[in-house]
Structure formats: C-alpha cells, structure tokens
C-alpha cells in the first residue's frame, strides 16, 4: 500500500486554545512537506478560539458544521457550514461559535 490510511478511532481528542475547544490531530508536523498540521476542531456552543495568530504559517479553516463569526483587525465576518477562511501568516483572528450547538471545522496550517 503506497497511500497512508489513518483510522478515525486512533485520533485522540485534546484541548485546544487553552481548553475553550478541542481538536483531533489528523496530520502532524513533517508528515507532509510544508504542512505544519491538520486538525479537526470542535467548539462548544457560545465558546470561542480566542484572539491569536500563527507565526510563519498560513491557516485555512473549513467549516464542517455550524455557524458563528470570525473576527480580525478589520471586522467581524459570519460563517456557515461549507465556508472557508484563509488566515495569512501573522494575522490575528478569533473564531466564535454564536450558535446553540457544537461547531466542527478542519484546520490546515501551511508554512509560509
């Protein structure tokens, strides 16, 4: 087998952003060239991934389930299932679940 398969039951859920949400590490650093990591993120209703940035990394967020808002230095932007956000290296941002249900995302962080 030349492809790599990872089983869902092997992914461990861990705290993310100080415990405001959680994540499963799907792709770790150095498993793929130029990719720092890929995670499946979970954010409980009314919670947020607080204001942060990624040094020397671009981040892509794909919304698997839910709705809420993303904030950067210029404004607040609503999101819904299927939306994609790209956070360029060094840009501060915050992700908030404004709904009454847990939101789910895929995050991919790529080296600049």
Integer-rounded Cα Rg, in Å, for the chain is 14
Domain span holding position 66: 8-111
Q: Would residue 2 count as lying in a domain?
A: no
Q: What is the mean pLDDT of the chain?
A: 95
Evaluate whether 15 touches 22 at the Cβ level (below 8 Å): yes
**Assigned domain for 97 exists:** yes
- Judge whether 47 lies within some domain: yes
Q: How far apart are the C-alpha atoms of 34 and 50, rounded to whole Å?
A: 25
Above 90 in pLDDT, residue 30? no
Pairing of strands 68-72, 35-43: unpaired
* Any domain includes 69: yes
**From CA 47, how far away is CA 37, in angstroms rounded?**
23
Mean pLDDT value of segment 44-51: 96
Q: Is 30 part of any domain?
A: yes
13: in domain: yes
Total count of domains within the chain: 1
- Note whether 49 and 20 are within 8 A (CB): yes
Q: What digits encode the pLDDT tens for the residues 65-100?
A: 999 999 999 999 999 999 999 999 999 999 999 999
Using pLDDT thresholds of 50, 70 and 90, give the confidence band for residue 33. very high
The verdict on residue 62 lying in a domain is yes
CATH assignment at residue 72: 2.60.120.10
Report yes or no on 1 lying in a domain.
no
Q: Using CA atoms, how far apart are residues 56 and 75, in angstroms rounded to an integer?
A: 23
């Amino acid at each position: 087998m030349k492809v790599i398969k990872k089983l869902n039951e092997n992914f461990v859920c861990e705290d993310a952003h100080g415990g405001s949400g959680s994540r499963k590490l799907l792709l770790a650093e150095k498993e793929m060239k130029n990719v720092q990591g890929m995670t499946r993120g979970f954010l409980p209703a009314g919670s947020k991934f607080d204001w942060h940035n990624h040094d020397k990394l671009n981040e892509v967020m794909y919304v698997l389930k839910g709705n809420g808002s993303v904030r950067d230095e210029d404004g607040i932007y609503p999101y819904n299932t299927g939306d994609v956000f790209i956070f360029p290296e060094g840009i501060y941002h915050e992700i908030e679940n404004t709904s009454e249900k847990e939101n789910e995302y895929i995050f991919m962080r790529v080296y600049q």
